[in-house]
Amino acid sequence: MSKVIKNLKEFSTSNDRYEGANLMCPGCAHNIIVREILNATNDPLVIATATGCLEVCSAVYPYTSWDASWIHIGFENASTAVAGAEAMYKALKRKGKIPADQKEPKFVAFGGDGATYDIGFQWISGCFERGHNMMYVCLDNEVYANTGGQRSSSTPIGASTTTSPAGRVSYGEKMMKKDIVAIMAAHGAPYVAQVAPNKWKDMVKKIQKGFDTNGPVFINAMSACTTEWKFPADKTIEASDLAVDSLVFPLYEIENGTKLTITYRPKNIIPVRDYLAYQGRFKHLFTKQNEHVIEEWQKKVNERWDYLQRREEAGV
45 within 8 A of 105, measured Cβ to Cβ:
yes
Q: Which residues contact 47 (CB under 8 A, 6 or more apart)?
A: 66, 68, 69, 70, 71, 82, 108, 109, 110
The pLDDT of 17-21, averaged and rounded, is: 85
pLDDT the model gives residue 101: 85
Is 114 part of any domain? yes
Q: Model-level pTM?
A: 0.95
Write out pLDDT tens, residues 178-206: 999 999 999 999 999 999 999 999 999 99
150 within 8 A of 161, measured Cβ to Cβ:
yes
- 287: pLDDT strictly greater than 90: yes
Write out pLDDT tens, residues 148-161: 999 999 999 999 99
pLDDT the model gives residue 20: 79
Is 3 part of any domain? no
CATH of the domain at 161: 3.40.50.970
What Å distances lie between residue 130 and 16, 91, 127, 198, 223, CA to CA? 32, 15, 5, 33, 28
Is 201 part of any domain? yes
- 247: pLDDT strictly greater than 80: yes
- Three-class SS of residue 34? helix
Sign, CA dihedral 171-238-253-68, equals positive
What domain range is 262 assigned to? 8-314
Is 108 part of any domain? yes
Kind of pairing between the strands at 45-49 and 106-112? parallel
- 5: pLDDT strictly greater than 60: no
Is 2 part of any domain? no
Write out pLDDT tens, residues 58-99: 999 899 999 999 999 889 999 999 999 999 999 999 999 998
Is 133 part of any domain? yes
- 21: pLDDT strictly greater than 90: no
220 within 8 A of 138, measured Cβ to Cβ:
yes
Q: Name the pLDDT band for 173 (thresholds 50, 70, 90).
A: very high
Is 202 part of any domain? yes
Helix intervals (H) in 25-118? 29-39, 53-58, 78-94, 113
The count of structural domains within the chain is 1
228: number of Cβ within 10 Å: 25
Is 179 part of any domain? yes
pLDDT the model gives residue 9: 66
pLDDT the model gives residue 2: 43
Length of the chain: 316
